Amino acid sequence: MTDATRPAPALASHRGIDGSTLGLLVTMSVLWGINWPMMKTAVIELGPWMFRAICLVIATAGMILLVWANGQRLRPPTRRELPLLVVMAFFNIFIWHVMTGFGLAYMAAGRAGIIAYLMPVISTMLAAPILGEKLTTAKILALLLGAAGLGVLMAPEIGAIGGDLRGPLLMLGSAFTWSIGTMMVKGRRWAYTPVQLTTWQMIIGTPPLVLSALLLSPLPDLGRTTAFGWVGMLYASTVAMIWCHYTWYRILDRLPASIASISTLAIPAVGVISSALLLGEPLGFTEFAALALVLAAIAMVVRPRVA
């Protein structure tokens, strides 16, 4: 059976999560959560442009090797597919990575992770007008909870004289960008596996980001980059961008999408805690309150139905 005719994973009723799948869920949540503090130091030392450029070059090469290692091939996109792939790569690769890179430069990593994971809530709201999905009371309440969580994080900056809102606004923009890209992926049935689709977006989106980095950012002084900075860059480009994506695809093959989405709930929690441990970021009432509101919002829109 070719990739083009391969059926989508069936979303049949799920009778339980086996031990290996649970292990994948826990591993992915922990590793993706730790990625936020790991990225922070690398972004500061290498600069947002160069950090993202280096990461994407490594990740794109890794994803191509992953496709080949799975016995798949990268079928060239058709004339109808190419324009949409270019737009998706613009949102999912270029804009998202630029916004999160600069957002991390302007705010704490743990807080940035919380805002970024408003994406499931935003996607749910966009799915109503774009994909025709029903907008329920639970979804509206989730939007209000998510907005409240964002407000808790932004209130200190708004109230402070000269408060810097660049970080929160950039991370909020990245959440919207991620959501738009998600709508584009869900809006049609692709003749690619998820790994192939992601790889093609990286192949298309990485060159313009690298070119922008070379034109808009000075080359970093690699000799002054600390060991933790190098570790952060390598972690983000390999563990987070290759291994965690691959793990996510394996989870989607085993579980219905609604149940698999619950695994994202732990990621911002791990990000906040690991940022406090690794970077000494504050971990107080504001962070816990915002985290609780955002997680409650996400839980309302991704909770599985009981058969």
Q: What is the pLDDT of residues 105-164, one digit of tens each?
A: 888 888 888 888 777 777 777 777 777 777 778 778 877 887 788 778 777 666 654 567
Q: What is the pLDDT of residues 204-215, one digit of tens each?
A: 999 999 999 999
Q: What is the pLDDT of residues 235-267, one digit of tens each?
A: 999 999 998 878 877 776 676 554 566 556 678
Look at residue 61 and tell me whether its pLDDT is greater than 90: yes
7 assigned to some structural domain: no
Per-residue CA distances from 198 to 59, 100, 123 (Å)? 11, 18, 18
Q: How far apart are CA 229 and CA 190, in angstroms?
A: 38
Q: How far apart are CA 119 and CA 176, in angstroms?
A: 7
10 assigned to some structural domain: no
Tell me whether residue 250 is exposed, middle or buried, using C-beta atoms within 10 angstroms of its C-beta: 0 to 12, 13 to 18, 19 or more. middle
Domain ranges, residue 98: 20-302
76 assigned to some structural domain: yes
Look at residue 282 and tell me whether its pLDDT is greater than 60: yes
pLDDT band at 86 (very low <50, low <70, confident <90, very high): very high
Tell me whether residue 186 is exposed, middle or buried, using C-beta atoms within 10 angstroms of its C-beta: 0 to 12, 13 to 18, 19 or more. middle
Q: How far apart are CA 13 and CA 47, in angstroms?
A: 46
50 assigned to some structural domain: yes
Tell me whether residue 203 is exposed, middle or buried, using C-beta atoms within 10 angstroms of its C-beta: 0 to 12, 13 to 18, 19 or more. middle
Q: What is the pLDDT of residues 285-303, one digit of tens each?
A: 887 888 888 878 777 766 5
- Which of 68-77, 89-98, 106-115 comes out lowest in average pLDDT? 106-115
* pLDDT at 3 (0 to 100): 39
pLDDT band at 54 (very low <50, low <70, confident <90, very high): very high
- Which of 94-98, 130-134, 149-153, 165-169 comes out lowest in average pLDDT? 130-134
* pLDDT at 307 (0 to 100): 46
Query: How many domains in the chain?
Result: 1
Give me the helix-helix angle, 96-106 and 109-116, nearest 10°: 140
* pLDDT at 10 (0 to 100): 41
**187 or 3, which is more confident?**
187
**Which pTM was predicted?**
0.78
**41 or 2, which is more confident?**
41
9 assigned to some structural domain: no
6 assigned to some structural domain: no
* pLDDT at 235 (0 to 100): 95
11 assigned to some structural domain: no
196 assigned to some structural domain: yes
CB 39 within 8 A of CB 51: yes
Return the closest-CA partner of residue 3 out of 264, 193, 220: 193
